[in-house]
């Protein structure tokens, strides 16, 4: 398997000090570097140098990175992406601090996606020698790791094809206009491994980021996270609840710049021969918010 996971998400924030407080003290990430107006964080159960980058000046998506297993895999993506027809450029080691050589693909939506195979090892917070189950003094919700992102894009079928043919992902679930053969795909959940999704795409009038998510260890941790958000006055969009799509349990919440974050836990394991689930657009309420079965007024309107 060439691509292993989403390795990092890089977003802009309007106020770096506030955002640092959120990601360090509420989300509970560990700061590993501050340099050139950017702050780098990792979760306790991640071993690479960083998985979240925040940059002062605005709001919204800058780029994300997917980590490949070997340099040859990055080269293969460069070849395939070029043949696919999307703009591809090389990035050199150090262009992103602590990240090795790679390639950067620009989707037709304008989203930049980077592929790399080397990042400075930092180590798990619990170590790898007779480790404990979690860090003894976790801060905030203690998010273990970055999980996935949902992007608003202007061409779900085209960009889904890129992630399938170039990156090697497959769709676990889709939202379609109907069950007819000629139905349009409105949203897709794409995975590279056994998790429900590493990236999801939603058809939208603007090209933005809807949210990026942290994987939590279970429903108990999701509920506790909501308690922490109440204590820290972190705006909650919705939850704790369950998604129909992926069956994952969730809270959507906002960082101090208004970027949507998610805590996500559960869902089923995915194998490449698993049949793709289809949801019809008239059932979108249940698909997104399984308990209320109604969309809230922000899901399809709020993104950065």
Partner 1 sequence: MPKLTVEPEGVCIDLHDDETILEGLYRHGYAYRIGCRRGGCAICKVDVLRGEVDYNRPVAEKVLTDDERATGTCLSCRAVATSDVTITLREDNLRRVNPLMARFAVAQPG
Which spans of this chain sit near partner 1 (rule: CB under 8 A)? 12, 14-15, 58-60, 235, 237, 254-260, 297-298, 301-304
Q: In what order do the strands lie in the sheet with 199-203?
A: 236-242, 248-254, 260-266, 208-215, 145-153, 199-203, 185-191, 170-176, 277-280
Q: Which is nearer to partner 1, 233 or 273 (CB)?
A: 233
> Hey, which residues are catalytic here?
148, 197, 211, 243, 252, 262
Which residues have CB under 8 Å from 246's CB, separation 6+? 172, 173, 189, 196, 197, 267, 268
Q: Which is nearer to partner 1, 256 or 266 (CB)?
A: 256
CB of 303 to partner 1, least distance (A): 7
């Amino acid at each position: 398997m060439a691509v292993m996971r989403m390795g990092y998400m890089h977003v802009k924030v309007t106020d770096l000090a506030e955002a640092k407080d959120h990601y360090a003290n509420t989300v509970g990430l560990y700061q590993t570097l501050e340099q050139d107006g950017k702050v780098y964080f990792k979760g306790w159960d991640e071993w690479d140098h960083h998985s979240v980058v925040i940059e002062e000046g605005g709001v919204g998506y800058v780029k994300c990175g997917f980590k490949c297993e070997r340099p040859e895999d990055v080269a293969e993506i460069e070849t395939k992406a070029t043949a696919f027809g999307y703009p591809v450029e090389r990035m050199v080691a150090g262009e992103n601090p602590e990240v090795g050589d790679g390639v950067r693909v620009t989707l037709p939506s304008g989203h930049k996606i980077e592929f790399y195979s080397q990042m400075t090892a930092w180590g798990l917070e619990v170590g790898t020698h007779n480790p404990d189950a979690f860090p003894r003094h976790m801060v905030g919700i203690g998010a273990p790791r970055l999980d996935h992102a949902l992007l608003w894009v202007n061409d779900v079928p085209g960009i889904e094809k890129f992630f399938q043919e170039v990156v090697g992902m497959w769709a676990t679930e889709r939202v379609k206009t109907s069950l007819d053969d000629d139905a349009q795909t409105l949203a897709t959940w794409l995975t590279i491994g056994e998790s429900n999704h590493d990236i999801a795409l939603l058809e939208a009038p603007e090209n933005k980021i809807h949210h990026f998510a942290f994987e939590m260890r279970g429903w108990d941790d999701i509920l506790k996270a909501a308690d922490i958000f109440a204590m820290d006055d972190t705006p909650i969009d919705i939850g704790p609840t369950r998604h129909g799509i992926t069956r994952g349990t969730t809270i959507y919440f906002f960082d101090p710049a208004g970027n949507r974050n998610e805590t996500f836990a559960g869902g089923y394991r995915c194998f490449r021969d698993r049949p793709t689930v289809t949801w019809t657009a008239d059932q979108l309420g249940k698909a997104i918010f399984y308990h209320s079965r109604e969309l809230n007024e922000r899901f399809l309107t709020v993104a950065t």
